[in-house]
A and B are shown apart, each in its own frame.
Chain A
């Protein structure tokens, strides 16, 4: 069984540009989550999808971040326009029961 995959693995963009991160969950997992780890700090929750619906987006930092999960399969997280403080590692996870399975993360560097 394939795990959670994320693309790209690393992205370097300039301040003000747009970046779109993609996550493919484990097949059959209805729950999909986005988290991020900034500057070696705690991993912070961003949002939670159940199928295509946003269940909880309380962790989204501001309206420069837009997450979608059309069709309830893969998800994208767009940052527009990117700011320096958005640099960090963005993790995606999926679950069907209690444990969440994480992808390898996308390392975003905003210069």
Chain B
């Protein structure tokens, strides 16, 4: 079985401050981890992934995520948030031997000017 938890429904930060969106996962094999973002009235956009290698992965729009195997976490970070980062963020995982993704419930990020 595979699952994802996003413990925060909402994250509110001021523009220019660091942004962190939390994600923990559970898989039986090696995890393939992904972050997606959904802007209002748009589809899911791929941000970044962890498959293997460096624990810190960099993605689109200045986002990065850190894979922590011992804590089974894959938190999304951005050093300096922008108002345009306000959106719904989804963490997803799949076992290396499978294709289907399991998603978290999503975290709504609001960046205030």
Contact = CB atoms under 8 A, between A and B. Distances in A.
Contacts of B32: 98
Contacts, number: 54
Contacts of A56: 98-100
Q: What is the size category of the interface that chain B forms with chain A? A: 20 to 34
A45 B101 contact: yes
A103 B43 contact: yes
Interface of A: 4, 31, 33, 35, 41-45, 48, 55-56, 58-59, 91, 93, 95, 98-105
27 contacts: A4-B43, A31-B99, A35-B101, A35-B103, A42-B102, A42-B106, A43-B44, A43-B101, A43-B106, A44-B103, A45-B101, A45-B102, A56-B98, A56-B99, A58-B100, A59-B100, A93-B44, A95-B99, A98-B32, A99-B49, A100-B46, A100-B101, A101-B46, A102-B45, A103-B43, A104-B42, A104-B43
